[in-house]
Amino acid sequence: MTPFSPHRLDSTPYEISRLVGRIGGAKRAPSNVTGRPMVFMVATRPRGIVAVDLESGQVRWRQDISDSSSRIAVGRRNIYYRRKADILEARSVRTGKLAWRKKLDLGAGSEIYGIAADGDRLYYVAGVAGEALKQAKWRSRLVAVDGADGDIEWTRWAPGRIGAPAARGGYVFVPYRQQYLSVLDSGKGKEVLRVRARQEYITFARATSEGIFFGGKNGVFRLNRKAASGVPEKADYLKLKLALTRKAAYTGLFGGQTKGPKGRSEAGLRVAYYWDGYEPVMCGYTAYDLNRLLWRGESGKRFAHDRAVLQYFRYFFGFNTDAGELAWVHVHPHVDVRSAFHLKDSVIYLARDGELVLLDGKTGDRLWSHHTKIRIRGATFDAEGFNPQGTRIAARSIVDGLKSIVYDPDRRLTVAKFFAISQLTGLKGRTVSKILLDLISHRKTSLPLRRRAEQVLVQRASRESVPLLLKALDARYDYALGTRPRVVGPVAMALASMKEQKAVTPLTHHLTDPHTPPSTLLKVVTAMARIGGKGILKPFRQFLLDYRADSSFVRHLDVLTRAAQALLDHGGVAERQLLAFVAEDRHSLPQLREFVRRALGKKTAGK
């Protein structure tokens, strides 16, 4: 049957198992002919490709190439990349010398979706899009190229879309029609396997030393006999699951959208398991490389060492995939990270200014670093098994890491700050409360971040933070000193959630402070009402009398109505008499009178 035929049946578990057995495991070693761990960088100023030996830290070679436009694929003897739109080039891994250059006959409207190398063979996928589709006979094609001289070995045409390829062990793996993983034999180009995914879009295929993986934006299938079911529940399916207790905190922060202030959506930190093979732009180094999940598989459905690392610009969040909790945080100072790669035991990354850093994947400790001083745009690592000697620098505590993110002056990274604040919800200790209070009080904190910090402060209120919260209520408005208490509202709500009686006196002060803004006043009244007790009666009585006839409260009537309700709930005869007076006296605000009248009626009926 022709490859990519629509009539091909899904492969059986036996067929998958047999193929996987043939592919076998791979040695954890670099795939290039030197056997040394290397990184191939697309440098800027001037533009070129630079090969750096990671063990020695030396630049092995540099070639000035101004128009490389794809990721670098690393084969055994050569590296491969695209120039402009339709030129493929190969250069020697050892010397950087040009091995060959081929202009591709892509045809109108056709572009490359991805390239992959396995040994001395190169594969690329080209697809037709746009207007050209109307006249095209075929939608896309997978091409195998001899890595030594650039001659095409075979081409397989497909009526549907093929995504970017992965290759290992003499086989090439491609996502097909967003529903399948197709596996072709590299020698003959014969399709030997087709695995269907149900309930999932398949957008990538990935070949690692632990096995072959494929998946989409929701998770990753391991290619083994269980994958034949095509269903996550029955397959070895890797997915970063987050702790349920903090799910609300994560909602919208991981690949979803949630309504922010004034109904605006907040795009979240993306859990992108791999590059989308159907997006031709991802053939090159893009902003996508700055935010994705770094992971490796282990046996079954486990991530290696139960860790997956979310990279976001300069931040790395190491998650315990078993518990779904944050295990470590690493912040690279000042400069964006352009490329990162998971080496199973560690994570290596390259910053824009050319600094290489290796982190322990389990703990986030810094294991090694080296500065190449080369400005880069992107890079491809061929560094399996890289384990250099270096001074281990322990990762900072999660609290410190999150704090540094929250206070990072970089305004681009607001999403990560939201995430960092949300992470603080589950962390205990006064230090965290102090961080949140300082963040809320800080004049330069943006309104959305402040709101989020306030929510977290209330969510994580606990007895041990009570002294700190009470102290925060000592802050006063002072025109002379230019101080303004900014934390009264959330602190009041936090104390109210614990019904802390000691809060009544300081809250009373804010209740009677003329500088307390109406929005905060509402929270103060709400908090005092929740705390309850005899201590709130006198201040509420006087407050209600002072402002029952004040027209400036028409827009903030709920402040008065809550105070009135609290008097009714917690007071006695004297309070009811007062409320009766408020309800009957014609000088009281009409809406307030109506409210109190009804409340008294309900209370009486309730009896």
Partner 1 sequence: MKRRWLSVLVLVVFGPTGFLTAPVRAQNLDRLSNQVESTDLKKAVAAARALGKIRSPKALDVLMEMLLLGARPKLGLELVKAIGQHADPKAFHLLSHLARHRNEAMRAAALDAVAKFTAPNLHKKVLGLAMRALRDGASAVRAAGARLIAGLKNAGFARKELTRAEGLLLHLLLVRKDQRSARIALSVIGTVRTARFLAVHLKDLPERIVTELCETFLKRPDFGPEPVRVWVVKTLGKLTGPEAIAALMQYIRDSEGKRRSGLSVTLAKSIAEK
> How far apart are CB 397 and partner 1 at their closest, in Å?
39
Nearest to 196 by CA among 65, 369, 9, 391: 9
Q: Of 464 and 550, which CB lies nearer to partner 1 in the complex structure?
A: 550
Cα(281)–Cα(82) distance, rounded to whole angstroms? 12
Q: In angstroms, what is the minimal distance from the CB of 561 to partner 1?
A: 15
Smallest distance, partner 1 to C-beta of residue 477, A: 7
Burial 543-574 (b: 16+ CB within 10 A, else e): bbeebbeeeebeebebbbbbbbbbbbebbeee
Give the C-alpha separation, 209 to 201, whole Å: 24
C-alpha distance from residue 226 to each of 172, 199, 239 (Å): 20, 15, 16
Nearest-angstrom CA–CA distance, 548 and 580: 12
User: Which residue's CB is nearer to partner 1, number 215 or number 571?
Assistant: 571
**Shortest Å distance, C-beta 532 to partner 1:** 24
Residue closer to partner 1, measured from CB, 199 or 479? 479
- Smaller CB distance to partner 1: residue 18 or 476? 476
Question: Residue 598 Cβ, how far from partner 1 at the closest point, in Å?
Answer: 20
What phi, psi does 593 have (nearest 5°)?
-60, -45
Please, which residue, 67 or 478, has the CB nearer to partner 1?
A: 478
d(CA 294, CA 383): 15
Strands of the 73-74 sheet, one edge to the other: 73-74, 78-83, 87-92, 98-103
State the amino acid at position 500 in one-letter form: E
Output the smallest distance, CB 550 to partner 1, in A: 6
Cα–chain center distance at 54: 28
Q: Is 421 helix (H, G, I), strand (E, B) or coil?
A: helix
Using CA atoms in the order 85, 90, 93, 96, what is the torsion angle rounded to 10 degrees? Answer: -80
Tokens of 214: 């494929």
Q: Residue 296 has which token pair?
A: 């490796």
Q: Amino acid letter at 564?
A: A
CB of residue 593 vs partner 1: minimum separation in angstroms? 12
**Cα(479)–Cα(174) distance, integer angstroms:** 67
Say which residue the tokens 């709930």 belong to.
569
What's the min distance (Å) between Cβ of 513 and partner 1?
A: 7
What's the closest the beta carbon of residue 524 comes to partner 1, in angstroms?
Answer: 13
Q: 10 Å Cβ neighbour count for 208?
A: 19
Q: Smallest distance from the beta carbon of 507 to partner 1, in angstroms?
A: 15
By beta-carbon proximity to partner 1, the closer residue of 430 and 484 is 484
Task: Identify which of residues 154 and 477 has a Cβ nearer to partner 1 in the complex.
Answer: 477
**SS3 at position 414:** helix
Describe the strand order of the beta sheet including 376-382 as a list of residue ranges: 59-63, 48-53, 38-43, 376-382
Which amino acid would we find at residue 384?
A: E
Q: Measured from the CB of residue 583, what is the shortest distance to partner 1 in angstroms?
A: 13
For partner 1, the closer of residues 410 and 478 by Cβ is 478
Q: Which is nearer to partner 1, 68 or 588 (CB)?
A: 588
Q: Which residues in this chain contact partner 1 in the complex, by CB under 8 A?
A: 477-482, 512-515, 542, 544-552, 581, 585-588
Of 133 and 554, which has the nearer Cβ to partner 1? 554
Contact 561, 595 (CB under 8 A): yes
Tokens of 267: 């795009």
Name the residue nearer to partner 1 (CB basis): 27 or 586. Answer: 586
Residues whose CB is less than 8 angstroms from the CB of residue 403 and which lie 6 or more positions away in sequence, other chains included = 435
Closest C-alpha among 495, 557, 555 to residue 529: 495
Closest approach of Cβ 380 to partner 1, in Å? 58
Nearer to partner 1, 66 or 552 (CB): 552
User: CB–CB of 346/367 below 8 Å?
Assistant: yes
